[in-house]
């Protein structure tokens, strides 16, 4: 839907140009062309709002940075009462099972013994929308894992995308402000297709790699069960000798990758805004427990020094073809929370929660997250005692002298609540077992600088785009066109096209053409010229890494009175053997009566069970049933959408009139189901998930 053009009264326009509201609410006259100086909330002028204060350009962030502290502190407390980001989430309990000992690399307890299972809780989420938004928004997905180790909780707070929009945490409030509903009108909700977001992005070249991911199908996953998770940052493993190995964490789904297409996502949001939640619930309740492997990319300082990009830069990744991820354990989700609020809503993740043997790098985004998350939990959960809430409490023994405060459920017992004390009471530190940071030598000036090694903003964006199939590249171009078509200010659209030209000239030209730009802008100025020698990384493509299995998916079968019950039974058996499920869709939710008199209850009525809810569909109809359904718009849409979304369609001969009425031309993905052999061939085809060769014809 087209958005209306903004209109302001002439008085309001003059007011915007000439007046500035002071901290106390008073209005001050501003000279024409004069811009107010940015200050802290205390009125102190700010010299640099782009970089945190660090010990050297690549050093750790410093706690004395009062501007960052105030900015992130206020941001963390902006939402009442929900999370400021990742508000819409869904979680489940499970366990992490270690494959083999990693003692060579880390002394982290959970990696010491093969086969040991450690309790875990996972929360999946969208980033931008509110708690009441829908599941299939185009957005980054949070993939936060809390593992209750024997030496404290480990929170691997990641996303389903391995890079991020920004390089320095000081810009996070600006990023989120830009993508949230515009403050004067409080919309759009859970959407990035608006001026504020793209204005910020078009002025932030470091975001270009992430933009390629967010405009790809990675941002509209089929479900939580079919998406990867990434720790994003570079961390360290420390072994018993305090020797350091850099590590990146990747969760790989056992069921493989799968996403939806945009038109499908829009319709799913209308048909079932809880689609991802329902999918996870149904899978666990039915015993089809979702599973991921934890893989690690391990490398030393020599590799870090020689790699093409800075391993501290969160807008960069290490291609899997350069360092192959090694599976070190598996995550299984096997139990839903007893109460959503008590567990999923109250769970508190913090990147700084790591056990001894896992340490941080100087990634400036990670450094800021470590500093920020405690504020978030204090505001959201109302007390410094949020660890007293069962979902957040460690499952190992713990002891400290923290006491009192709002919601204190436990306090030190006895007279002594301090250390050192002469009575020998209470806990003491343990230099051997306790957490130790890597003894990195740092001798550098205190500066607000961005390292020069962070300056290449286009090369990996180009590598990602070149690693996609033609189908996926087309989807990226379509997504960019849609998003930018919602931007009202032409200069923002032009700035974005200028960036796209640095990533791929054909991509930039295609988007510019669709947007109706009269001429191409010149490519954006680049601090470092984009490289064209980076090889494609097949691991970055969803289609190239298809599962070749229909396991965990869902077949929707449209049935009518008089359908062939024996054929349906054979189809159900074949799909069940594949590890997938079958749901029946009928004219009435009460079901149908088959030709042999068998009563078949339906899971959905046709008006409430559109084909977008399924991974493939089949039509098992009688002549009378097909005749009835050809007159129903919902039935025609069921077939037409499945065809347009490149899904495999099985059908009996009686369903041909419905196919014709829906405008479906039989191709290799529209398959007759006339015997057991045909059913086997249909199921085998469904393993490919979609017939992408059909897409050009249905889009034209």
Residue that the structure tokens 């890079």 belong to:
163
- The full length of the chain comes to 700
- Check if 159 is active-site: yes
Contact of 38 with 45, CB cutoff 8 Å: yes
H runs (alpha helix) in 146-260? 172-179, 195-202, 208-214
642: nearest Cα among 604, 616, 603 = 616
Q: 86, 93, 209, 475: which one is catalytic? A: 86
Q: Give CA–CA dist 489/514, Å, rounded.
A: 16
Contact of 166 with 172, CB cutoff 8 Å: yes
> Is the preceding peptide bond at 548 cis, omega within 30 degrees of 0?
no
- Which H or E run contains 509? helix 505-515
Q: Which residues pair with 252 in a beta bridge?
A: 293
Q: Give CA–CA dist 446/64, Å, rounded.
A: 10
Q: Please classify residue 698 by burial: count the beta carbons closer than 10 Å to its beta carbon, then call 0-12 exposed, 13-18 middle and 19+ buried.
A: middle
Contact of 110 with 96, CB cutoff 8 Å: yes
DSSP-derived letter for residue 387 is G
Q: Which two tokens stand for residue 67?
A: 């501007």
Q: 159, 160, 353, 502: which one is catalytic? A: 159
692: nearest Cα among 424, 461, 452, 474 = 474
Contact of 259 with 217, CB cutoff 8 Å: yes
Cβ-based neighbour number of residue 340 at 10 Å:
14
Contact of 123 with 346, CB cutoff 8 Å: no
Backbone angles phi, psi at 155, to 5 degrees: -105, 110
Q: Give CA–CA dist 611/518, Å, rounded.
A: 40
> Is the preceding peptide bond at 183 cis, omega within 30 degrees of 0?
no
490-504-208 Cα angle (round to 5): 65
The three-class DSSP label of residue 553 is: coil
Give CB contacts under 8 A, 24+ apart, made by 638-641: 638/558, 638/585, 638/606, 638/609, 638/610, 638/611, 638/662, 639/558, 639/611, 639/664, 640/664, 641/264, 641/267, 641/610, 641/611, 641/612
Q: Residue 128's Cα: distance from chain center in Å?
A: 10
Contact of 472 with 510, CB cutoff 8 Å: no
Q: Give CA–CA dist 513/496, Å, rounded.
A: 13
Active site residues: 86, 159
């Amino acid at each position: 839907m087209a958005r209306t053009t903004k209109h302001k009264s002439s008085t309001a326009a003059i007011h915007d140009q000439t007046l500035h509201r002071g901290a106390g609410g008073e209005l001050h006259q501003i000279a024409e062309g004069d811009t107010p100086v940015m200050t802290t909330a205390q009125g102190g002028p700010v010299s640099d709002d782009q970089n945190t204060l660090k010990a050297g350009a690549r050093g750790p962030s410093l706690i004395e940075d009062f501007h960052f502290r105030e900015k992130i502190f206020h941001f963390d407390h902006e939402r009442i009462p929900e999370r400021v980001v990742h508000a819409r989430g869904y979680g489940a309990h499970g366990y992490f099972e270690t494959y083999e000992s990693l003692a060579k690399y880390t002394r982290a307890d959970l990696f010491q013994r093969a086969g040991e299972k450690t309790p875990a809780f996972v929360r999946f989420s969208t980033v931008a929308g509110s708690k009441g938004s829908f599941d299939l928004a185009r957005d980054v997905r949070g993939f936060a894992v809390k593992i209750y180790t024997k030496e404290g909780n480990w929170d691997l707070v990641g996303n389903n995308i391995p890079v991020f929009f920004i390089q320095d945490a000081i810009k996070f409030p600006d990023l989120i402000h830009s993508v949230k509903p515009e403050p004067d009108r409080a919309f759009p909700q859970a959407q990035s297709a608006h001026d504020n977001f793209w204005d910020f992005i078009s002025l932030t070249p470091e975001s270009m790699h992430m933009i390629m991911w967010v405009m790809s199908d990675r941002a509209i996953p089929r479900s939580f069960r079919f998406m990867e998770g990434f720790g994003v940052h570079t961390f360290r493993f420390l072994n018993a000798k305090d020797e350091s190995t850099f590590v990146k964490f990747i969760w790989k789904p056992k069921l493989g990758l799968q996403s939806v297409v945009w038109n499908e996502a829009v319709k799913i949001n209308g048909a079932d805004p809880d689609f991802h939640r329902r999918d996870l619930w149904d899978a666990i309740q039915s015993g089809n427990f979702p599973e991921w492997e934890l893989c690690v990319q391990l490398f030393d300082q020599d590799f870090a020094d020689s790699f093409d990009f800075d391993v501290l830069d969160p807008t960069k990744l290490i291609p899997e073809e350069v360092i192959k991820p090694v599976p070190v354990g598996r995550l299984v989700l096997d139990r839903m929370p007893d109460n959503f609020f008590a567990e999923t809503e109250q769970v508190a993740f913090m990147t700084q929660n790591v056990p001894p043997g896992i340490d941080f790098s100087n990634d400036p985004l990670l450094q800021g997250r470590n500093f920020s998350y405690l504020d978030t939990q204090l505001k959201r959960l109302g007390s410094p005692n949020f660890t007293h809430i069962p979902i957040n409490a460690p499952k190992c023994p713990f002891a400290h002298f923290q006491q009192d405060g709002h919601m204190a459920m436990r306090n030190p017992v006895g007279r002594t609540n301090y250390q050192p004390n002469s009575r020998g009471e209470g806990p003491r530190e343990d230099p051997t077992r306790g957490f130790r940071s890597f003894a990195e030598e740092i001798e550098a000036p205190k500066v607000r600088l961005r390292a020069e090694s962070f300056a290449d903003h286009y090369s990996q964006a180009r590598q990602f785009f070149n690693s996609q199939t033609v189908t996926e590249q087309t989807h990226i171009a379509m997504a960019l066109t849609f998003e930018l078509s919602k931007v009202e200010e032409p200069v923002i659209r032009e700035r974005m096209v200028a960036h796209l030209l640095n990533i791929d000239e054909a991509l930039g030209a295609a988007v510019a053409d669709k947007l109706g730009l009269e001429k191409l802008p010149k490519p954006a100025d680049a601090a470092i010229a984009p490289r064209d020698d980076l090889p494609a990384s097949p691991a970055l493509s969803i289609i190239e890494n298809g599962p070749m299995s229909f396991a965990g998916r869902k077949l929707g079968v449209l049935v009518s009175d008089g359908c062939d019950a024996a054929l349906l039974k054979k189809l159900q058996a074949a799909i069940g053997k594949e590890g997938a499920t079958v749901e029946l869709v009928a004219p009435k939710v009460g079901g149908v009566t088959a030709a042999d008199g068998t009563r078949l209850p339906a899971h959905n009525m046709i008006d409430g069970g559109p084909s977008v809810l399924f991974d493939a569909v089949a039509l098992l109809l009688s002549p009378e049933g097909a005749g009835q359904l050809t007159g129903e718009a919902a039935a025609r849409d069921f077939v037409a959408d499945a065809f347009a979304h490149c899904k495999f369609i099985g059908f009996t001969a009686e369903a041909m009139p419905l196919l014709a009425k829906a405008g479906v031309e039989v191709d290799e993905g529209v398959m007759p189901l006339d015997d057991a052999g045909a059913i086997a061939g249909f199921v085998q085809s469904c393993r490919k998930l979609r017939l992408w060769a059909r897409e050009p014809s249905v889009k034209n």
